[in-house]
Structures are given as C-alpha cells and as structure tokens.
Amino acid sequence: MSLRRFFINPTDIVGETATLTGPEAHHLRTVLRLCPGDSITFFDGTGARYQARIEQILKNRVTAIITGQTRDLPATIRLHLGQALLKGQKMDLILQKATELGVDAIWPFYSEHGIHKPLKDAQMERWQRIVLESCKQCDRATPPEIHDTRGITDLLAHPPPCDLRLIFWEHEARQRLDEVLAVQKKDCRSVLFLLGPEGGFSETEVASAQQEGFIPVSLGPRILRAETATLTATAILQFTLGNLNPPRPENQEVPCAPLSKG
C-alpha cells in the first residue's frame, strides 16, 4: 500500500521533526486512524517531499520524524493552462485533472460567451483545496499556481512569458496541432494554451489572440464539451511535449541536501 500523503507548512518542519496541525492532523488521527510508528509522506508545497515516521499523536497535533527528503524533477516543458470560467462543478473537475496531468499554472478568465459573474471571495480557497487534494492523490510535490481571474482581453495583452501560445478553436480548419508542435517544440520551454467556455470563443476573441501571437488550432471534427476539450488538449500536449514520459529509474527524484539539525 502506498504511503499516506499530507501537506505541511515548511515552517512546521524544524530539523528532523515535523509537526502537523489543523485539518490534516485531524484527518490523520480521526479518519485514517494512523498510529505512532506508521510511515507517511509530507509535501510542503514548494516541491519538497519528505518521508517520515509518526512519533506522537495528540488531540491537536501530530509529530513525526523525517527519515528522508527528495524533490521532483522539473517538467521538460512547462505548461500554462488558460481556462475560460465554466458553469457548475466543471471548473472543479478541470482543476483536479489538470493537476493530475502536471499543468504548471492555471489562468482562469472571463470570456464573451462564458461566465461574467464575479467570483465569491471563498472560491479561490476552494480551488486551492481541490488542487492540494489532487496533489496528494497523484503524488505530486508541487501544486500548480492558480492565478487571479481576469478578462480575456487582459490575459491576451499580458500573458505569462511562454515560448509558444495556442488557442484551441473549433472553427480552425487550416493549422493542425501536430504540425505546429513539430515546428515549434524543438526550442520550446513553456507553452500557454487557451480553452474557451461552453459557448466557445468568439471570432473577435480569436482575432485578438492572433494579433498577440497566439496560434489557432483545432481538436478535430467532433464537438466536445468544454471540460472534455480542456482535458483532451492537456493530455495531448503533455504527451507530445514529452512530459508524460516515465523518468529513468536512476532519475525519478532529485535527492535533497541533508536536513539541518537546527
């Protein structure tokens, strides 16, 4: 059985002792009913992974002894997902699966045919929880960054500095994704790709994207649901760019420096 995984604040690791509190400690103690001596894994949100052994379980905290530390290898090509806001729980699904598929950053945006209603203050906290839970499920040490929601015009005018910019549009009939990637990926280290809402991108949005250096591409002749299109595009890009290749056995993780005794 794989080790149980928990997120911990980096400041709660001092030397070889880790102190788990809050909901994660409650989950370990009350839901999973783990015991002193059990082995677990900690993620600190910065890319470090800690192997640990539970030492003591109290009502409001759990202490563990760190027995090892590693760090994941970085992705070959960083992937930034620009996602139009979707209705209901579709955004939750995309955040969950994009995390599992290894997306490095998520840029939510308002679009002409999509949602315009301002998000509630608690929405970002909810998204962060979804991402962290997905990281624990798929054994990912570094959660993707979730950026503040903005209008598509702002995102097009001020995108992250990526080598390749794509916009997936169902009406694109000339440029094939495989042909674009065959030409572009050789010297590419980062990709920003945009997916639209249930109503798709407007022609004005696509034209504006092209003016900002985005290349329109299609996912084929079938009409896909918005969430299906996002997950399909993500998986295709990750596979084609080499980010889904299994690491060589000797390079699966990067060992970290020994822990300080301080």
Residue labelled with tokens 């993707």:
144
CATH label of the domain that carries residue 35 = 2.40.240.20
Looking at the fold, whether 42 and 103 belong to one and the same domain comes out as no
CATH label of the domain that carries residue 160 = 3.40.1280.10
Looking at the fold, whether 82 and 45 belong to one and the same domain comes out as no
Looking at the fold, whether 130 and 49 belong to one and the same domain comes out as no
262, part of any domain = no
Looking at the fold, whether 114 and 206 belong to one and the same domain comes out as yes
User: Which domain does 28 fall in, by range?
Assistant: 4-73
Looking at the fold, whether 27 and 122 belong to one and the same domain comes out as no
252, part of any domain = no
User: Could you give the CA distance from residue 208 to residue 51 in angstroms, rounded to a whole number?
Assistant: 48
Looking at the fold, whether 28 and 109 belong to one and the same domain comes out as no
246, part of any domain = no
Q: Which pTM value belongs to this model?
A: 0.85
48, part of any domain = yes
Residue pLDDT tens, the chain, 262 long: 467 899 998 999 999 999 999 989 998 999 999 999 999 999 988 888 999 999 999 988 999 999 999 888 888 899 999 999 998 899 999 999 999 999 999 999 999 988 887 777 788 889 999 999 999 888 888 899 999 999 999 999 999 999 999 999 989 878 888 888 888 877 899 999 999 999 999 999 999 999 999 999 998 888 899 999 999 999 999 999 988 887 665 545 555 555 554 4
User: Could you give the CA distance from residue 65 to residue 121 in angstroms, rounded to a whole number?
Assistant: 37
Looking at the fold, whether 125 and 192 belong to one and the same domain comes out as yes
Nearest Cα neighbor of 152 from 189, 197, 186 is 197
28, part of any domain = yes
